[in-house]
């Protein structure tokens, strides 16, 4: 069991958890993720690590409510616990002095872009960050991103905050302004990463994106997270999650992510109906596990 030390919504439907996980906290590097399982009957899902504190032994994750598991997770409060958390998984971001780097975060992807932006800044890069969200209240980590960026640009789809438009529109203007960009790092929804890749391809700007396909074990064992890179299968969990955006077959990524849509929808509908009884079950499991641990098992 992994204790939740803090849990707070940082935007509607987006929650930050501070979890006690000393082993993971010691090793985590920007770009890596954890796989967690909320309760005994739960599925395993990959979740981005926002940052960690090795001294306190804590790891921060930022979770957006999408389907059953994330809604259930976001129902947990400080003082409760998560059944299993394993990591840090995946390769760390490549951090070196590239020159000028544009770091792009779309929606909750900003939480994953943040530690890499910080590390790139620390390595002496000029960091231009572009953060986008659907509307004002969904812009997250603005202060944190500002701290690690030479320039922070914000867009909202509906124009309720900062500039109206998509992050790609903003990136295009940065490119058109003649700024020499050495690297683009984009983390967000697949359509956003794909649009970024399409834009930078023409300008021959090296572009890295972080993929989040369906995963189970996260150690390379199952092959469920395979993505087509230059026509060859690679595993997002061990070969990624970051890949050269210009080599990814996005069609296959989209298609494979839709594989369980019917089941996902059914699970979510069931969850909405049975939310209270499921939460009671999760709490009972937590208490039973606490009692076991108390008994020295």
Partner 1 sequence: MSPTKSLNPVPIKERMKVPRQHMLEQPPLLRAANFKEVNLGYPEELARREAQRCLECAKPVCINDCPVGVNVKEFVQLIVAGDFMAAAAKIREDNVLPAITGRVCPQEDHCEGGCLLGKKVQPLGIGYLERFVADYEQQHMDRSTIRRAEPSGKRVAIVGSGPSGLTAAGDLVQKGHEVHVFEALHELGGVLVYGIPEFRLPKQIIREQIDYMRAMGVHFETNVVIGKTVTINELMEEEGFDAIFIGTGAGLPVFMGIPGEHLNGVYSANEFLTRINLMHAYEYPNFDEPMLDFRGKNVAVIGGGNTALDAIRSALRLGAGKAYVLYRRSEAEMPARKEEVKHAKEEGIEFRVLTNPIEFLSDGKGWLSGVRCMQMELGEPDASGRRRPVPIEGSEFEIPLSVAVIAIGTSANPLIQSTTPGLATNKRNYIEADPTTQRTSRKGVFAGGDIVTGSATVILAMGAGRRAAKSIHEYLTSGGW
Binding site for partner 1 (CB under 8 A): 23-24, 27, 37, 41-44, 68-69, 83-89, 216-224, 226, 228, 233, 235, 238, 249, 251-252, 255-256, 258-260, 262-264, 266-267, 270, 297
Task: Let me know: does 58 contact 25? Beta carbons within 8 Å.
Answer: yes
User: 137 or 217: whose CB is closer to partner 1?
Assistant: 217
User: 35 or 145: whose CB is closer to partner 1?
Assistant: 35
User: 10 or 66: whose CB is closer to partner 1?
Assistant: 66
DSSP 8-state symbol, 107:
G
The pair of three-digit structure tokens given for residue 157, joined into one six-digit string: 């789809």
Q: How far is the CB of 190 from partner 1 (least distance, A)?
A: 14
141 contact partners, CB below 8 Å, separation of at least 6: 10, 50, 105, 110, 111, 114, 131
User: 269 or 287: whose CB is closer to partner 1?
Assistant: 269
CA distance 56 to 3: 13
Task: Let me know: does 68 contact 74? Beta carbons within 8 Å.
Answer: no
44 contact partners, CB below 8 Å, separation of at least 6: 35, 36, 37, 84, 215, 216, 217, 218
Q: How far is the CB of 191 from partner 1 (least distance, A)?
A: 17
User: 190 or 222: whose CB is closer to partner 1?
Assistant: 222
Q: How far is the CB of 73 from partner 1 (least distance, A)?
A: 12
Q: How far is the CB of 18 from partner 1 (least distance, A)?
A: 18
User: 95 or 252: whose CB is closer to partner 1?
Assistant: 252
Task: Let me know: does 101 contact 184? Beta carbons within 8 Å.
Answer: yes
150 CA to centre of own chain: 23
Q: How far is the CB of 139 from partner 1 (least distance, A)?
A: 31
Q: How far is the CB of 21 from partner 1 (least distance, A)?
A: 9
240 contact partners, CB below 8 Å, separation of at least 6: 90, 91, 210, 211, 225, 227, 234
Burial (Cβ within 10 Å: 0-12, 13-18, ≥19) of residue 202 = exposed
């Amino acid at each position: 069991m992994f204790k939740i030390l803090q849990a707070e919504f940082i935007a509607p439907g987006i929650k930050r958890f501070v979890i006690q996980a000393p082993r993971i906290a010691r090793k985590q590097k920007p770009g890596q993720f954890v796989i967690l399982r909320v309760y005994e009957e739960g599925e395993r899902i990959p979740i981005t690590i926002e940052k960690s504190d090795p001294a306190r032994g804590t790891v921060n994750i930022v979770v957006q409510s999408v389907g059953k598991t994330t809604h259930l997770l976001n129902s947990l409060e400080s003082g409760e616990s998560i059944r299993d958390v394993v990591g840090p998984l995946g390769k760390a971001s490549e951090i070196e002095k590239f020159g000028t780097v544009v770091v792009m975060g779309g929606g909750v992807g900003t939480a994953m872009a943040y530690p890499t932006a910080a590390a790139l800044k620390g390595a002496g890069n000029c960091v231009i960050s572009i953060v986008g969200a659907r509307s004002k209240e969904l812009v997250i980590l603005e202060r944190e991103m500002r701290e690690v960026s030479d320039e922070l640009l914000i867009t909202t789809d509906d124009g309720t905050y900062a500039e109206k438009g998509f992050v790609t529109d903003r990136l295009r203007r940065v490119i058109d302004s003649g700024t020499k960009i050495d690297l683009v790092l984009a983390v967000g929804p697949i359509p956003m990463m794909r649009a970024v890749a399409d834009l930078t391809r023409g300008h021959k700007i090296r572009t890295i994106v972080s993929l989040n396909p369906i995963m189970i074990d996260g150690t390379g064992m199952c092959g469920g997270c395979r993505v087509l890179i230059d026509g060859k299968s690679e595993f997002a969990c061990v070969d990624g999650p970051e890949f050269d955006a210009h080599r990814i077959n996005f069609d296959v990524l989209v298609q494979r992510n839709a594989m369980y849509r019917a089941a996902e929808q059914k699970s979510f509908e069931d969850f909405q109906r049975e939310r209270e009884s499921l939460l009671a079950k999760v709490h009972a499991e937590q208490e039973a596990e606490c009692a076991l641990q108390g008994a020295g098992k």
